[in-house]
Structure formats: C-alpha cells, structure tokens
Structure 1
Amino acid sequence: MSAAVPVTRAALLVDAKCTLGEGATWCSRSGRFYWTDIEGAKLWRYDPRDGRSTFWRMPERLATFALCANPHYLLLGLASHLAFFDLATGETERIVDVEPGLNTRVNDGRCDRQGRFVFGTKDEGSPLRAVGGFYRLNRDLSLERLPLPAPAISNSIAFSPDGATMYYCDSPTREIRACDYGADGSIANDRVFTTLADATGEPDGSTVDRDGGLWNAQWGGARVVRYGADGVETARVTVPTVQPSCVALGGAQLGTLYITSARTDLDAAALAGDSRAGGVFVAVPGQRGLPEAVFQGAPLRCRTQDE
C-alpha cells in the first residue's frame, strides 16, 4: 500500500453476530440495508431511521439475493436454487435449480445494468476444487452458463457504471478479473484486473462507485480496498474484524460504505479477541455509490395477474 493512499476506519453498526454475513445491498427505494447470514439461513434488514434490525428465516441457506423491479419481491440465490421471495408474506416461488448433482452451492451475485442476475457457485468439498460456474438468469427466467473459468469460490461480481465491464474472482487465486460485457450479454477479453498486494487476505464481495472505482472486501485481511479502473489501489478502509465479506455504498447520499463480516472458522480464542465478528460495519470514505441494479424479471404470479 502506498503511503499516499487515504485510509478510513470502519465502525460497528449492527452487532448481528452472523456466522457468515454476506450479500451487502442498499435499497434506495426503501432507504434500508439488506444482507444475509448464509450459514444462519437468515435474510437481514436494517433501517437507519430507527436503528432497528429484523430478519426472515429462509428455507435453506441464502447465499445471495437481488432487489427486483417489483419492490414487493427479492430474487433469492439459495444454496441449491433461485427463487422469488415475497417480502410481505414470506412465500417463495422456485425458479430453477443450480448445478444439480454437484457438491456446490450458489455464492456471490449481482444484477447487471440490463437487469439480469449474474452469479457464481462454490465447491462444498474438501479440498476445494475449481468445479463451479458463473451463470446469468435472464429477464425471461432462462438460465445460461457464462464462458468464464470454473471457480472454487466465486466472488467479487460487480459491473462498471456503464455496464461494459464485469468484475469477478475465484477467491483462492487472490486475483480479481475483468472482462468486456456487452449489452447483449456477450463476454470477451477476460483478463486479470488486479492481484492482492498484501500478504494476507482473499478477495470477497465487491461494489462499484459512481466514478468507476471497485471496492473489495478482503476476507482474512481486515480491510476493504478501492481500486481505480486501472486496477491500482486508491483508498482503503480498515475494518475491526478479520473477515469482512461484502460491501455496498448506501445511505441518503450513497456515501456510506456498509460492510458485512463473518464468525465462521474462528475458534474461541480468535473470537475472544474479535468479539464483533459477524457484525455490520460502516465507514464514510468520501466516494458515492450508484443505485443498486434491480432484476427485471417477474414472478409467475405477477405475470399471470397482468395478463
């Protein structure tokens, strides 16, 4: 890290003690922050207006999710399948199974600028093997595999402000990659975007700010790092827990960085010194985000009602 790179320190916001907090998402329409505890099979929501946090129990582990064009629904990336979730009733509508027959589960995901959901999977075996994939759920609810290298742990999925660049990673490689991403869904020019310079940590969840900077939570490194569009570090946030997992820029002016974290794999001695692990942290690093892209597909019940 260059001495000229500005450093901000994050502070605890919600002491949620999630086993595996992930999926940081700010909803500009409701002014609320959503995240998931994957291993706890819970969807969490925080409202900054009253400081209250609530959660819904999920039918299985919830790895990732997306806001929908219909504000009453979320698109869920559950461990084994994708589904719509009705926020009012708690009901789910199954869409499609993901990698049936493989010992993998859904992992990281984000919507592209065209309103399609792009996500990846992770191996659940030991030792980890690069046997997963990257996929796109289209607006018509068809699922396609993307022509990208198979990951062991997919992460860092994000899109440039104009949508023409997709970022992603296979965490154990300690590289974040980029590719050209067409409005028609085409992918080309897959390349290394950046390699982690610090001795510790792996790239985890990412978000992109309005200036095109990529903010990446670095698991095991107690930090979030911002990279310019050229892949060079321009800022970092130190996080007072060792396993930050995902980030989102939110708040009224989209200038608050929300950071999820995890307690998994930390033994009793480690947790004694990292008691806030699994919480949500915030920082104000000086850049502003973009409204989260929403999934443009609709649940069957909504399409049926509109006909």
Structure 2
Amino acid sequence: MSARVVDHPANTLGEGILWCEREQALYWTDIQAATLWRHRLADGQTRHWDMPERLGCLALCEADGWLLLGLASRLAFFHPEDDTLLPIVDVEPELPTRLNDGGCDRQGRFVFGTLHEPAPGETRRAIGAFYRLNADLTLERLNLPGVGISNSVAFSPDGRTMYFCDSPSRLIQCCDYGEQCGEPREFARVDDARGEPDGSAVDAAGFLWNAQWGLGRVVRYAADGRIDRIVDVPATQPTRPAFGGQRLDTLYITSARDGLSTEALAAQPLAGALFAADPGTTGLPESRFRGAPPGFGHSS
C-alpha cells in the first residue's frame, strides 16, 4: 500500500493532523514555521494562519468554530474565522521544554505531552511529561513516566486504553486509562534503529496506525501489537496519520523536511507534503474538546 500526494506546502515539520467533519477539512501544523494549516477537500483550497509561537498540537472543540491549540509554551483557544486567540494556561514554564503531540480522549479532555529541547551540546533528557486539560480548564499531570519526546497519544474506541511513547526509546506503550493511568506496558517496538515511532491514530476496529519517522511508513498494529499492514510514504519522515473524508475511509499523513540534508531533499522532493492512502478500513470521528472559552459555549 502506497501513499499519494494531496497537497505540498513543503512543511518543515508538518504534524498534528486531524479531520473536521463539520467543515469537511483537514487541519494540521507546521511546528517549526509556527503555522496552522487547513485544507478543504471540496474545493481543494489550502489556507494558513501564522501563530505567535510554535504550534505543537491541536484539537477540535465542541464550541462551534473554535480550536484548542497546544502552543510551544501554553494552551490557548483559537477561532480561525476572526483570528481570536485566548490563552488558557502556561505549561512547564520552569523547564526547557515545549508542547508536542496531543489529542482528545473519548470523554472530550485534551491529553498531550511535552519534549525536552536540549541546549547545544546537551543530551536530551526525559524531563517532559503527559498532561490532561479538563473541560473546566483545569490542568493535571498524568501519572506516567517522564519523556524526552512525547508522541503517539491515541485512545482505543472504548476509551479505556491510552497509547503513547517516548520516541527515542523506539517503544510504543499503552496503559489502562481512566481518572488515573494504569501501569504502562509494552505495545510494540520499532526494531529498525533508523526510525522512531511518531504520531498515531486508532481506526474503528481498534487497530493503531503509527507514523514511523526515518522509515517512510505508517504501520497498522493489531491489539496484540502484531504488524497487520504497512503504508509506504514517499518521504522518510512521516509524522502523524488521521482518518478523514466523508466516510472516514482515507488515511491522511503529514510529513517533515526538518533535519534532512541537501542530498536527502533532492532524493525525496515530496518531503514535507500532505499524503493520503486508501487503508481498506474506516476511522473514528475526531473526539472534540468539551471545554470552551467563557461565554462562547457549554463546558461540562
């Protein structure tokens, strides 16, 4: 199975893709360019918004028209149609970290992680963490181990299992999920030392689709961690998959050019593009954040 190009904005670090069924559009971020992107399928129109700082991840909101943004240093609400940005809370202001991967759980709470940004010559350390923003806008740290690069935040269809990883470990983990997180356990390991697990999505059958940075592929894992199928991507650094389209039967994939040499970019001119594949299965509707800015919607 191979992926095809949908759009080619040449993102430096395309990430965080998700499908909005209300707009029939894809949203994603170019983290390093501090840019939010939207691509509408009906007319093929692509638009972008400049952000005040790097945008690590995002979520749709139940409050119509709003997005929840995981900016480098803080969480904020954003309304694309009028460019309204409303800060919520700073995250790890005392640490050299930034927000990275995230997504909503089945209860409509936003779960995300951070990553360590080492100074020149410094070794990356597992000082990042995973957090949950509740509908009442309270922020709590989840009882999970520290991470160097948080990724692969996803949830089983019934919401009782959370998937996550610390990318440099090349290990995707899972845990029982509820008000607290259960003991982490190994789900799947990326054996090829050239690659790392990046972002993930779960399909309607409960299989996990993981983009694998450095290996040019998205892998579908069964519930027991067995590899079920592979989507080849014509760029070595795919970053995150998401199911979209009217029937949620297309797999969209962001990718990155970040860190590639001149020779590598010449060999893979599609690096940084938005891709799509026909996975032979369907996804789940994107979970939406249940909180809202005061006066702009219902929170519960």
Q: Same fold (TM over 0.5)?
A: yes
Cα distance between partner residues in 2 of 1:169 and 1:62: 20
User: Identity over the aligned pairs, expressed in percent?
Assistant: 56
Cα distance between partner residues in 1 of 2:228 and 2:194: 19
Residue 178 (1) aligns with residue 174 (2): yes
Cα distance between partner residues in 1 of 2:295 and 2:81: 14
1:233 to 227, 233, 238: 227
Q: Deviations over 1:197-246 (max 9, x none)?
A: 33431000000000000000000000000001111110110000010001
1:277 to 271, 275, 278: 271
Q: Structure 1 regions of 5+ residues with no counterpart? A: 1-7
The alignment's TM-score, normalised by the length of structure 1, stands at 0.94
- How many angstroms does 1:111 deviate by? 0.2
Q: Deviations over 1:43-102 (max 9, x none)?
A: 000111111111011111000000000121000000000000012211110000000011
- How many angstroms does 1:104 deviate by? 0.3
1:164 to 153, 160, 166: 160
**Partner secondary structure for residue 127 of structure 2:** coil
- How many angstroms does 1:300 deviate by? 2.0
Match of 1:29 in 2: 22
- Point out 4+ residue stretches in structure 1 off by more than 3 angstroms: none
The alignment's TM-score, normalised by the length of structure 2, stands at 0.97
Cα distance between partner residues in 2 of 1:52 and 1:181: 38
- How many angstroms does 1:134 deviate by? 0.4
Cα distance between partner residues in 1 of 2:55 and 2:153: 17
Cα distance between partner residues in 1 of 2:108 and 2:192: 34
Residue 116 (1) aligns with residue 109 (2): yes
**Alignment RMSD, CA only?**
1.2
**Partner secondary structure for residue 263 of structure 1:** coil
**Partner secondary structure for residue 179 of structure 1:** strand
2:127 to 128, 131, 146: 131
1:148 to 144, 167, 181: 144
**Partner secondary structure for residue 182 of structure 2:** strand
Q: Deviations over 1:260-305 (max 9, x none)?
A: 00011012111111111111000001010000000000112426x9
Cα distance between partner residues in 2 of 1:42 and 1:89: 16
Cα distance between partner residues in 2 of 1:123 and 1:175: 18
Residue 75 (1) aligns with residue 68 (2): yes
Match of 1:260 in 2: 254
Residue 49 (1) aligns with residue 42 (2): yes
Residue 191 (1) aligns with residue 185 (2): yes
Match of 2:237 in 1: 243
**Partner secondary structure for residue 101 of structure 2:** strand
Residue 217 (1) aligns with residue 211 (2): yes
- How many angstroms does 1:28 deviate by? 1.3
Greater CA drift, 137-146 or 198-207? 198-207
Q: What amino acid is aligned across from residue 203 of structure 2 in structure 1?
A: D
Q: What amino acid is aligned across from residue 41 of structure 2 in structure 1?
A: P
